[in-house]
Structure 1
Amino acid sequence: MALSGMTGFARVSGTYAGHSWQWEVRSVNGRTLDLRVKLPSEVSAIEPTVKKAFSDIFTRGNMQISLSLNADDKGGTVAINEALFDTLARFVEAKGGNSNLAVLMTIDGVVTQGRGSTDEVAQEGLEAALIQGATEVATTLKQARDDEGAALLPLFETAVSALEKLTIEAAEAAATQPKSVADRLSDQVKDLAVDIDPDRLAAEIALLATKADVREELDRLTAHSEQARALLSQGSPIGRKLEFLSQEFNRETNTLCAKSSDITLTRIGLSMKSVIEQFREQAANVE
């Protein structure tokens, strides 16, 4: 499966029995799948089916889905909701404003345009055509999000490669830490100009070297890199798993920096944190 992003736009239009329609959908990042559908009142019954068409394809993202539907003027009717108009006018006046007829007539629900008499069979055919259009626009959006995912994949691969390289460098730097700890403690003892039992000094050196040992953190960083490559090869939906993995990368790197007693190892750790932040930012864009 391909890696899929969460941003995209799609539009599909068509006609059916004297009606023209156009679906539009806009998708942005989201922690869950949030579908907001705007339909003309005369076809509002298809909303659950439309939502299912999208939820069958997507697992994450905030989507604004809208349908515009136009009918031939033949047999069409225009109705004005006078009760709603009067309510709005009174509300405006109560707030000290002046009712503007032209503005009030543009509010949803004040003016509705019918399609004339439509039998049940024709209505079912229209709704079926619109549902098919919704499926098409969902598929078109999926392609747009897949294109984004294809652009993101090399960024993840570059980040994982950088982390693997830095982990190797960190292991090389960490290998010198025991000697550095021993030399530093020995020099401090000499500066104090006091006699310390060699066995006691050796025990202290061993204790400090143990506290500075980062092999466990390096092993986990290597395992996390392997897991990242495995996830990327699976394809979406893996966005949440990548976000969690970025937290684990960061946790191990923080511990590595805290244990570091060598400037070189500390610099490598800071470089890791920079790469991990880039990884985390991109993970937030993945379905």
Structure 2
Amino acid sequence: MINSMTGFASASGADAPFSWGWEVRAVNGRGLDLRLRVPDWVEGLETGLRKKLSASVARGNITCNLRLNREEAGGTLAVNAAQLETVLSALHQIEERAMDAGVSLAPSKATDIVTMRGVLEQASFDDDAAALCQLLLADFDAVLNDFNAMRAQEGAALHAVLSGQLDKIEELTGQAADLIPARQAEMSATLRSNLARVLDNAEGVEAARLAQELALIAVKTDITEEIDRLKAHVAAARALLAEGGPVGRKLDFLTQEFNREANTLCSKAQMKELTTIGLALKAVVDQMREQVQNVE
């Protein structure tokens, strides 16, 4: 199945003390252009994301954004053991000196100790960038799957549209082929009439030479080759749709060939019905080319 070059996916996640949000979007492009906006302090993250995207997408302009937030300790408190030992040691010395001096002190309370500077402080987290990188890369897999699922869904719609347009081109090509016998008879009568008129008014001109030139004109106006090439292009395009994968460039080339044959058909027409068919072909081919621009 073919994929569309356009797609979008977003997701969010969290693992204390971090929370994050992903956003991946893609639009049409001639090649693969990856634009990543991720925290540069998470070493290896951008490289890993590029590797995953490159393995999954062949063409398109892709933007991948990661909003990474680090939550504060959120009021969680922890005892500073070193500072507590210092405070307790100081209190012990004070009590001993007071006893030696005969001074009676009130017993120290825990609530008094924890209010002393540095004893109780907010907890802190040690950031492990390598572990965070692996966590984010694993989380991105689901985002990438959603992104590719959307591209596949749009690709299925494109497949249906392109198949319908190929059916129309095949139908118009068949109509043009059906006109060949009547067109040949009409052109033969016209050529014979022109040849007789020229011979009646061209003294000294060899009849054989005139007949040869008129025969050459008849060959140049024959549309059999254009009909055959149109049929071959339809078969080739259907084969590409059946093959699937990144076939957008090849389909784009085929639409150019379709357009060339339709133009030639119009220029050679010399018949109202054939001209009408040629113009209808050009219209369908233009519509097809617009759709093909979205194919990966």
Q: Is there any run of 5+ residues in structure 2 with no aligned partner, and where?
A: 76-122
Aligned partner letter, 1:282: Q
1:235 paired residue among 213, 238, 244: 244
State the alpha-carbon separation in 1 of the partners of residues 29 and 130 from structure 2.
34
Q: Relative to structure 1, is the Cα distance of residues 178 and 205 closer, same or farther in structure 2, using a 3 angstrom cutoff?
A: farther
1:279 aligns with 2:288: yes
Please say if residues 195 and 211 of structure 2, whose CA atoms lie closer than 8 Å, have aligned partners that are also in contact.
Answer: no
- Matches for 1:57-68 after TM superposition, within 5 Å: 57-68=56-67
4+ aligned runs moved over 6 Å, structure 1: 190-193, 195-198
Equivalent residues of 2:37, 2:66 under 8 A apart: yes
- Tell me the equivalent position of 1:213: 222
Distance 2:67 2:221 in 1: 65
The structure whose Rg is larger is: 2
Unaligned runs of 5+ in 1: 77-114
Is 1:167 the equivalent of 2:173? yes
Aligned partner of 1:8 in structure 2 is 7
Partner of 1:264: 273
* Partner AA of 2:131 in structure 1: G
| Alpha-carbon distance, 1:134 to partner | 2.2
Residues 224-256 of structure 1, C-alpha deviation per residue, up to 9 Å, x if partnerless? Answer: 000111111111211111100101111122222
The count of residues paired between Structure 1 and Structure 2 equals 246
Aligned AA (1:62): N
Give the CA deviation at 1:41.
3.3
Query: What's the offset of the Cα at 1:117?
Result: 5.2
Tell me if the contact between 1:75 and 1:117 (Cα under 8 Å) persists in the aligned partners. no
CA distance in 2, matches of 1:193, 1:227: 47
Report how far residue 133 of structure 1 moved.
2.0
Using the TM superposition, give the Cα deviation of residue 194 of structure 1 relative to its aligned residue in structure 2, in angstroms: 2.4
Mapped partners of 2:286, 2:213: distance in 1: 37
Structure 2 CA distance for partners of 1:214 and 1:128, relative to 1, 3 Å = same
Contact 2:22 2:143 survives alignment (8 Å):
yes
Structure-1 separation of matches of 2:57 and 2:198: 68
Q: TM-score, normalised by structure 1?
A: 0.78
**TM (normalized to structure 2)?**
0.76
Q: Aligned-residue CA RMSD in angstroms?
A: 2.4
Query: Which residue in the other structure is 2:126 paired with?
Result: 118
Equivalent pair of 1:253/1:273 in contact (CA under 8 Å): yes
Query: How far 1:34 sits from its partner (Å)?
Result: 0.7
CA deviation after TM superposition for structure 1 residue 178, in Å: 2.5
**Alpha-carbon contact 1:23-1:133 (below 8 Å) kept:** no
Render the CA deviation track for 1:184-219: whole Å, top value 9, x for unaligned: 234446667926787666545433321111111111
Contact 1:239 1:286 in 2 (8 A): yes
Aligned to 1:247: 256
